[in-house]
């Protein structure tokens, strides 16, 4: 795996890992407030939602591995909207700043498609393991009480 990860890919990987962990923490807070209905921070606060989100991250990492291996899974919901935007005619011939406001923001412009897949795969797997392992430890501690 080390032969696929290049030095310039480490920063996007770290950023994606941090985002996944923060999303898991926010979802755990929402779970605690709206579903669990308690304002106490204990083992169950982080256990179930973090374990669920960690499993989702591991599943997405597996999908990225399959994509990197050559299997394409089309989960693109906005494909129809993108085709409509491409087919739409431009009203103005002169290009100003307002002509570029409808374009999508691309975060990884300099990475190739395979490199993006590797970044997503590594970030999903590492983030998933960082989230799942403490959740499993808390679950075992909770069951042994």
| Domain presence at residue 132 | yes
DSSP state, residue 33? I
Stretch among 31-35, 53-57, 78-82, 136-140 having the lowest mean pLDDT: 78-82
| Domain presence at residue 97 | no
| Domain presence at residue 63 | yes
Average pLDDT, the chain: 79
The model carries a pTM of: 0.69
- Name the residue range of residue 136's domain: 7-90+107-144
The rounded percent of the chain whose pLDDT value lies above 70 is 66
Q: Is 46 helix (H, G, I), strand (E, B) or coil?
A: helix
Task: Give which of 1, 36, 46, 12 is closest to 141, Cα–Cα.
Answer: 46
| Domain presence at residue 101 | no
Q: For residue range 35-69, what is the model confidence (pLDDT) as tens digits?
A: 776 655 565 656 788 888 999 999 999 999 998 88
| Domain presence at residue 13 | yes
Q: Give the other-Cβ count within 10 Å of 54's Cβ.
A: 23
Tally the domains of the chain.
1
| Domain presence at residue 96 | no
Match 């795996």 to its residue by tokens: 1
Task: Give which of 59, 68, 65 is closest to 129, Cα–Cα.
Answer: 59
> What is the rounded radius of gyration, in angstroms, for the C-alpha atoms of the chain?
20
| Domain presence at residue 33 | yes
| Domain presence at residue 21 | yes
């Amino acid at each position: 795996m080390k032969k696929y990860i290049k030095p310039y890919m480490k920063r996007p990987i770290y950023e994606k890992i941090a985002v996944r962990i923060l999303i898991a923490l926010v979802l755990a807070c929402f779970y605690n407030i709206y579903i669990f209905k308690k304002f106490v921070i204990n083992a169950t606060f982080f256990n179930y939602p973090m374990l669920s989100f960690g499993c989702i991250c591991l599943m997405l990492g597996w999908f990225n591995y399959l994509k990197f291996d050559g299997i394409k899974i089309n989960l693109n919901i906005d494909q129809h909207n993108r085709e409509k935007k491409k087919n739409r005619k431009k009203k103005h011939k002169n290009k100003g700043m307002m002509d570029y406001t409808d374009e999508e923001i691309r975060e990884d412009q300099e990475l190739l498609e395979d490199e993006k897949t590797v970044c997503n795969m590594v970030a999903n797997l590492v983030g998933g393991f960082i989230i799942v392992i403490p959740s499993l430890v808390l679950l075992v501690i909770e069951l042994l009480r």
